[in-house]
Amino acid sequence: MKRLITALMTAALLYGCTSGRRTVAPVNPEASPEARQLLEFLYSIRGKYTLAGQHNFISDPRRYDSVVYSVTGKRPVVWGSDFSFNALGGNIADYHHCGPMNLTSPWGECRINSLSTETLRQNLVDEIKQRHAEGRIITLMWHCCFPSECNDCDGASIWTWQNRPSNEVWKELTTEGTRLNTQWKKQMDTVIPYLEQLRDAGIPILWRPYHEMNGVWFWWCNKPGENGFKKLWIMTYNYFTKVHKLNNLLWVWNTNAPRDKKGDEAGPYADFYPGPEYVDVLAADVYHRDYKQSHHDDLQALAGDKLLALGEVGQLPDPDSYHSQPNWSWFMVWGYFINSQKTDSLPSETAVRRIYDDPRTLTLDEIDFSDGKYRLK
């Protein structure tokens, strides 16, 4: 039945009644065939199904995927991870929640693993190749230090809160040829070779850099307007796409759901949007089970015909909000949060199974990837 519904929906998407074939085009005109096919697949399920997803930390890339399987007997379709950073100083455990790569496990023992940045990132590439071969859809992000510190920094370099870059520093960062801009390129060059390996292997990536930019916590946060975050995003897009030809990337602009909690605010989506010509998917992060209808509807209004996703979630949505917000293409639970899904009425494992067993949730067993193309069985 799912195969029939998807075939009908795909036909409606790709073929108009009188106007002939319609193409779903990535924002990168040179996007790879694999990236194009993935995007078409995501459009084909829009409004009907949501892909289950799980984040896994770079130093322990199977732990939370295994938790999902042990609880549900199913595998998520979307497999996520992070290029990460090495946390320095005596307070490393304070930043475990984002998964510093030099920790054995970001949640739990928090011991130094003594592995090099290069080894960890190469291991990540190797893991991705295995997961992709299973039919997983890969999404990657990057908790990155401030560019002058490259890959090794105190966690406070990333979680700057009130110590975000001044307007003068931001201008230097986003101005071609300055010292800081050159440092930024060198920092980007530390992950580009790994993305190139994935490109050359024909693996499309849902790429979501500089997430939650409308919040107030990361160094790249809270810079609205034409010369703010928008300029950093476009600079990144151009460097990865036009300079380095990373045509396997689909660009996921990943906000935080707006909130007005004092000292932990997240501003309106539109103030940080770089424009439809630079974004394939618009995503929101929702924590504390705060699934307001406006989080979905306001993002869809900004997106127009583009896709939506739940880039990160802490607690899974309840069935009511899940079905009243139908255009989320996927959800991805953040790492260890999969162990903390208890509600007022349900224990954690029951809450996980409730969403994984929901008719609109797609899991790996329902994906046909036998010929290297995503479709429903």
- Tell me which residues are annotated as active site: 212, 312
What are the backbone angles phi and psi of residue 332, rounded to the nearest 5°? Answer: -135, 115
Q: How far apart are CA 192 and CA 45, in angstroms?
A: 31
79 contacts: CB under 8 Å, gap ≥ 6:
53, 54, 56, 65, 128, 131, 136, 137, 138, 139
Which one, of 198, 228, 208, lies nearest residue 141 by Cα? 208
312 contacts: CB under 8 Å, gap ≥ 6:
55, 211, 254, 285, 286, 287, 332, 333, 334
Tell me how far apart the terminal alpha carbons of the chain are, to the nearest angstrom: 9
157 contacts: CB under 8 Å, gap ≥ 6:
145, 146, 149, 219
Distance (Å) of CA 17 to CA 3, 6, 13, 79, 248: 21, 17, 10, 36, 31
- Alpha carbon 296 to its chain centroid, in Å, reads 16
Q: How far apart are CA 123 and CA 125, in angstroms?
A: 5
The 8-class DSSP code of residue 339 comes to: G
What 3-state class would DSSP assign to 316? coil
Structure tokens at 283: 């995503």
What are the backbone angles phi and psi of residue 320, rounded to the nearest 5°? Answer: -65, -50
191 contacts: CB under 8 Å, gap ≥ 6:
83, 121, 142
